[in-house]
Amino acid sequence: MNVPLFDPTTATEPLRERIDAALLEVSAAGQFILGPNVEAFEREFAEVVGASEAIGVANGTEAITIALRALGVGAGDEVIVPSFSYYASAEAIPPTGAVPVFCDVDPVTYISTAEQVKAVMTPRTKAVVAVHLFGNIAPVAEIEALGVPVVEDCAQAAGSVGPEGRPGALGSIASHSFYPSKNLGAFGDGGAITTSDKELAERVRMLRFHGSRDRVNYEEIGFNSRLDEIQAAVLRVMLPQLSEWAKHRAAAGQRYSELGLGDLVTLPQPTAAATPAWHLYVVATDNPDRLAEQIGASGVESRGYYRSPIHEQPSMRAWRPAPGMLPGTDQAARRHLALPISATISDRQLEQVVTAVRDASDQ
């Protein structure tokens, strides 16, 4: 039996009839942009997250850029962001006119601490992008206590729960992605911004629609970045399932531990009092690529995601820190490996993964 790294289809199969009906309703109504499904999803998603406002946008990357613009980030500013993350976390910064400043991560949680953020702050720091990587939860309150607003990057953390609430309602403003492989995935690109600051929410709505509040007067150079009715309709069917899907992901991570996976590799450590809905279950080992090859022969998919951290990408050369400045990032990049996890992964599949890793360790 093959164990896929991702399985976004099994969980949605029981919802197919309802999804198909929702898509037909959108088609029949003939309203595809900023219609009733988007408005309803925004209300429903805000309630689930625990924020006052949610604004649908085209994708998770533009969600970060628009959130930063709403905070007033612009030319001459610096925005701190972890280098061990998906490229979009930093890619979203230069379009504002600001520059990324890379901070380190804890190589066990894969999350940046407030101390690591503080170490690279300067008088030009205007905001911090705190990434809830792999579903783990960043210490947003501790970072905001440093005196700068936080944009939460929640792309991988839908369904996670922390001691102060859910990602998306912990900082000044937050970005979300509904890319199909995410914990809450649409049938194409989609994103959202959440906040409990009404003024920020109004700025976001203005910026997502070409910089206009009334579609007549254009106050700023904005974006054409809107969640469409089709994706909103799909997400409305899926959203009520998120809690159960998240519980299954969290339980699967716990089951990996119970099966003895921690005796073979280093398991990801949740941050303080967090219950991550693991988007990716990322372990660490000295030779991850060799392990991936060995377990692949047993039908178990795995992947190293960020072997080259963002600061090492060619496009980020101008902002690259000096060698050795990000030791946790270097360690995480070198040693990490994502193992299978999903909202429907079975106990049998989890056992097969652990058996494959154990067999590889015995070789």
**Does residue 361 register a pLDDT over 90?**
no
| Global confidence as pTM | 0.96
Same domain, 315 and 234: no
Residue 6 lies in a domain: no
Q: Are residues 89 and 64 in the same domain?
A: yes
Q: Is residue 83 part of a domain?
A: yes
Q: Are residues 185 and 72 located together in one domain of the fold? A: yes
Q: What is the pLDDT of residues 173-215, one digit of tens each?
A: 999 999 999 999 999 999 999 999 999 999 999 999 999 999 9
If asked whether residues 27 and 161 sit together in one domain, one would say yes
Residue 253 and residue 108 share a domain: no
Pair 32, 160 in one domain? yes
Tens-digit pLDDT profile for residues 108-124? 999 999 999 999 999 99
Based on C-alpha coordinates, what's the Rg of the chain?
Answer: 20
- Domain tally, the chain: 2
Which residue range(s) make up the domain with 298? Answer: 242-362
Secondary structure of residue 350 in the 3-state scheme: helix
If asked whether residues 220 and 256 sit together in one domain, one would say no
Q: What are phi and psi of 276, to 5 degrees?
A: -75, 135
Q: What length does the chain have?
A: 363
CATH of the domain at 24: 3.40.640.10
**Which pLDDT value is given to residue 82?**
98
Q: CB 216: neighbour CB atoms within 10 A?
A: 6
Q: What percent of the chain has pLDDT over 70?
A: 100
Q: Give the three-state DSSP class for 112.
A: coil
Residue 147 lies in a domain: yes
Q: Is the pLDDT of residue 240 over 90?
A: yes
User: Do 182 and 42 share a structural domain?
Assistant: yes
CATH code of the domain covering residue 276: 3.90.1150.10
Residues 286 and 231 in one domain: no
Q: How much is the mean pLDDT over the chain?
A: 97
Kindly report the number of other CB atoms within 10 A of residue 301's CB atom: 17
Q: What is the mean pLDDT of residues 12-36?
A: 95
Among all chains, which residue has been given the structure tokens 């613009």?
69
Task: Tell me the per-residue pLDDT of 316-346, one tens digit each, with 9 for 90 and over.
Answer: 999 999 999 999 999 999 999 999 999 999 9
- For residue 1, what pLDDT is reported? 80
Tell which of 184, 212, 240 closes a domain: 240
Spell out the residues 6+ positions from residue 275 whose beta carbon is closer than 8 angstroms to its own. Answer: 160, 161, 162, 250
Among the listed residues 274, 281, 272, 270, the one whose alpha carbon sits nearest the alpha carbon of residue 336? 281
Last residue of a domain, one of 199, 225, 240: 240
Element (H, E) at 185: none
Answer yes or no: do 204 and 252 share one domain. no
Does residue 75 lie within any of the structural domains?
yes
